[in-house]
Amino acid sequence: MPGLTHPALAPIESVGRATLALVRAIGQGGYLAAGAVRALRSTDIWAPHILTQMYQIGVASLPIALFVSMFTGIVLALQASYTLTGGVPEYFVGTLVGKTMILELGPVLTGLALAGRVGASIAAELGTMRVTEQIDALETLAYDPLAYLVVPRVAAGLLMFPVVIALAITIGVVAGWVTSISLLDMGSPQFVKGLKMFFDGFDVTFAMIKSVSFGLVVTGVGSFFGFHTVGGAEGVGRATTRAVVVSTMLILVLDAFWAAALL
């Protein structure tokens, strides 16, 4: 705005501009979400791509997800053993590894790792398609780009994040168990006793609810920033960075939200 050039007004101008950008982004996000829901009807466009996306988002993410959770499980067991001293029974190591992996670290750390791998990849791919007019080309060929590009990715995220996170939790617990019996001088029965002691079936439900919401956030945010990319290579880089930053923040916010709402 030409009138707001006085240095004293600069902070107000910045706040105003940021507010407008936020409102615009919320509007665009809502529009994209509504369009994606509407595009669900075009099953002939999105259904053929769902398996490919499930592979790329789910199966191809397993190495990084399992790597993160395995080392988390190892560290958890070692730190639990270090912390639980004095009169605390040793089998609480199993309790701590199990509860923490299922309720918190399995879903959140895997979600964050996938925000980097999956969210960045979606934003970069769609962003490149946007700046090279491939998304416009889809429209001219009578394809709904939301049905072709967004629906299969989001659907694959919703389906595969719980699978990846469930496997990550399992590997984390197994890594904690192997660490306990090999490095902590603890027997398997003790670890399993601790694991079972405070186990509640709802913990798994809680983890899966979080996983589905993380899948939605990572694929949805990646699609949003990719779809609204402007500029060339720099724009794609910016969209990718924003997708990772925003989905990381939303994962942490959702994590707190689910804990407050369900526990």
Partner 1 sequence: MLDVHKAFGNKEILKGFSLTVEDGETLSVIGYSGSGKSVMLKHIIGLMQSDRGSVHVDGKDVAALNRSGLTELRRNVGYVFQFAALFDSMTIGENVAMGLRRIPDMDEEEIEARVRECLSLVDLHDVHERYPSEMSGGMVKRAGLARAIATGPKYLLYDEPTTGLDPVTVKVIDRLNIRMKEELGVTGIVITHDMDSAYRISDRIAMLYEGKMRAVGTVEEIRNSEDPLVRAFIEGRPELMEGMS
* Binding positions for partner 1, rule: CB under 8 A: 38, 129, 132-134, 136-144
Half-sphere exposure for 94 (CA within 13 Å, toward CB): 21
Nearer to partner 1, 138 or 160 (CB): 138
Shortest Cβ distance from residue 134 to partner 1 (Å)?
A: 5
Residue 65 Cβ vs partner 1, minimum distance, rounded to whole Å: 24
We find the least distance from the C-beta atom of residue 215 to partner 1, in angstroms, to be 23
Closest CA relative to residue 103, chosen from 205, 179, 174, 194: 205
Minimum CB distance to partner 1, residue 41 (Å)? 10
Closest to partner 1 by CB, 138 vs 207, is 138
Tell me how many degrees the CA angle 168-194-64 measures, rounded to the nearest 5: 10
> Least distance (Å) from partner 1 to the CB of residue 122?
14
Q: Which is nearer to partner 1, 139 or 234 (CB)?
A: 139
- Based on CB atoms, which residue is closest to partner 1, 90 or 125? 125
* Cβ proximity to partner 1, 146 vs 171, nearer residue: 146
